[in-house]
Amino acid sequence: MDENDSFFKLKEQLEDAQKLMGRMEQYIVEARGVLQSCIRRQSEFQYAYLGDMIQETAKTSERLTDKLRRMTLEIVVNPKEYEKYKEDLVLIHGIELEYKDEILRVSAPVLIPHRKDCYTDYLYKPLHTAFRNWCMQRAEEKLEIPTYTNCTICFVHVYDETLPLARVRDHDNYEEKHVQDIITNFFLQSDSGLYTNTCHVTRMGEEDRTLLYVMDSSKFPAWISDFGKETGIEKNHE
């Protein structure tokens, strides 16, 4: 491919990105109109439709982000610059990892997708990048990278307490497998049911987020008994 072909390809990619931006703006305008209607009528009658518009906006935004990421990979030829870009992505997404008392804690500022959602990369790709960067940094600093054989993974789903309770999903409606696969790739010897247990907890909090706790199964009973004190989030919703 010569230089002109490369520029033509970039031109097409930028045009596609601009179309996605236009579509996203349309969804936002529609969502604002629905929200104003809810406020005016003081009713949650159209709340489901508002949620649909927000989801479409978010999915379109993710497609736009994915397209721009691919363009970045094509244009940025300096490996150090690209690695810095990927590190910045983890900070932008707000994913945090902490290892303390042989328990790995992961915090992500989003809820795990519904198991029927067709677009889930908004969580899984940044999560994979965050795990990889964290492990690389630990290796460089000669710090322990935990590996679990018989373990329990606890998924804590925290919902924004100011939003309708109808948003809260049953535990069997979360797409946990992809998250568990990523955890397995970095920290587990096996994700077989013989060696790995999962636990789901739902709580109300100041904002939507997901907390993941990975620990040896022998630690789980004591940990879960102190769970509320450790997290500072409550089960009951007044």
Q: In this structure, what token pair is assigned to residue 39?
A: 């406020």
Task: Provide the CATH number for the domain around residue 215.
Answer: 3.30.1330
Angle at 210 between CA 204 and CA 215, to 5 degrees: 110
> Between β-strands 196-205 and 151-160, what pairing exists: parallel, antiparallel or unpaired?
parallel
Which domain-ending residue is among 75, 97, 121? Answer: 75
Judged against a pLDDT cut of 70, whether residue 3 lies above it is answered with no
pLDDT single digits (tens) 161-213: 887 777 777 766 567 788 899 999 999 998 888 899 999 999 998 888 899 99
Residues 35 and 90 in one domain: no
Q: Where are the alpha helices (DSSP H) in the chain?
A: 3-41, 47-75, 79-93, 121-140, 176-187, 220-225, 227-231
| 66, 134, 142 from 137: Cα distances, Å | 25, 5, 9
CB atoms within 10 A of CB 60: 21
**pTM score over 0.75:** no
The whole domain housing 20 covers 1-75
Taking a C-beta distance cutoff of 8 angstroms, is the pair 201, 156 a contact? yes
Residues 89 and 165 in one domain: yes
**Count of domains for the chain:** 2
The DSSP bridge partners found for residue 157 are 202, 210
Among left, alpha and beta (phi > 0; psi -120 to 50; other), residue 197 is beta
Q: In this structure, what token pair is assigned to residue 206?
A: 């100041």
Judged against a pLDDT cut of 60, whether residue 108 lies above it is answered with yes
Question: What is the pLDDT, as a whole number, of residue 232?
Answer: 47
Question: What is the pLDDT, as a whole number, of residue 49?
Answer: 86
